Homo-oligomer: A and B are copies of this chain.
Amino acid sequence: MTSSTAPLRLYVSSDLAAGVEFNLLPDQARYIAQVMRRNTGDPILLFNGRDGEWRGVLASISKKSASVLVEQQTRPQGVERGLKLLFAPVKRTATDLIVQKATELGVTLLQPVITQHTNNDRVRTDRLEAIVVEAAEQCCRVMVPEVCEPIALSDAVSDWPDGQVLFVMDETGGGDPVADVMTESAARNMGAAAFVIGPEGGFAETELDLLRSLPFSKFVSLGPRILRADTAALATLTCWQALCGDWRPGPS
């Protein structure tokens, strides 16, 4: 099936239940009518992060408005395991990439953190939210990760949840191999997980000292090559999903 014939898939705010009919947002209507060239009666998949995924049909459509009739649930909402990414914003393209790919890789919360070497502390969270929604629509998730407002690194690690490990992805090569750390985590059947990725210039020494002093931090190495911040973020989430997450259907 090519993408042009697959049903569209949209994130909506409306409640979803059989027989519900509602208007899509004007931008969604324009996209469906003018970009995707869909017509009345065409199928559509809908999710809102609360009611699972539903199949519906386009009940009416014009260039500027469209309504859908919700028909049948196709997937339950389920519960996603908490997967929190603390990342220092980098250049815009790379930040966009982190946010898009992290969504595909199952992140549930994106927390921009301001560090000493952060070269871009003006983060437009509304832009990032739009990217996250589009990625969730495309990768068939039934929830949309939360995008938080940027905060200082020190604030991000204060008031930390009991029992949650913060994996520090250490570009200086100081940590334990990621596969070993995550295999051990999988064996301990941990719940939510959190990761922090530094900026392009790396963490400052005082920041590394802070992170090392936290009783819940665990330093992790991503190998001998110097990864860009965006590559490190994607590699981290990949390893987690492959070894501890839903890429490996386990007894849990």
Contact = CB atoms under 8 A, between A and B. Distances in A.
Nearest to A239: B242
B177 A248 contact: yes
Contacts of A180: 248
B242 A178 contact: yes
A227 B140 CA distance: 9
B138 A226 contact: yes
B247 A3 contact: no
A51 to B, nearest CB: 19
A222 to B, nearest CB: 6
A139 B179 contact: no
A177 B226 contact: no
Contacts of A241: 223
A188 interface: no
A105 B235 contact: yes
B3 A200 contact: yes
A101 interface: yes
Contact of A139 (B106, B178, B225): B225
A19 to B, nearest CB: 29
Contacts of A138: 226, 228
Interface string A154-189: 000000000000000000000001111010000000
Copies of chain A in the complex: 2
Contacts of A179: 242-243, 247-248
A154 B128 CA distance: 40
Nearest to A248: B177
A223 B200 contact: no
Contact of A105 (B182, B200, B231): B231
Interface centre among A224, A231, A234, A249 (most CB of B within 10 A): A231
A247 B221 contact: yes
Given A2-B117, A226-B138, A242-B178, A231 B101 contact: yes
Interface string A189-229: 00000000000110000000000000000000111111110
10 contacts: A1-B201, A97-B97, A104-B225, A105-B225, A139-B227, A140-B224, A140-B225, A177-B249, A223-B242, A234-B235
Given A224-B247, A231-B234, 15 more contacts: A1-B201, A101-B231, A101-B234, A104-B227, A104-B231, A141-B225, A177-B242, A178-B242, A178-B248, A179-B242, A179-B248, A180-B248, A222-B247, A223-B246, A234-B234
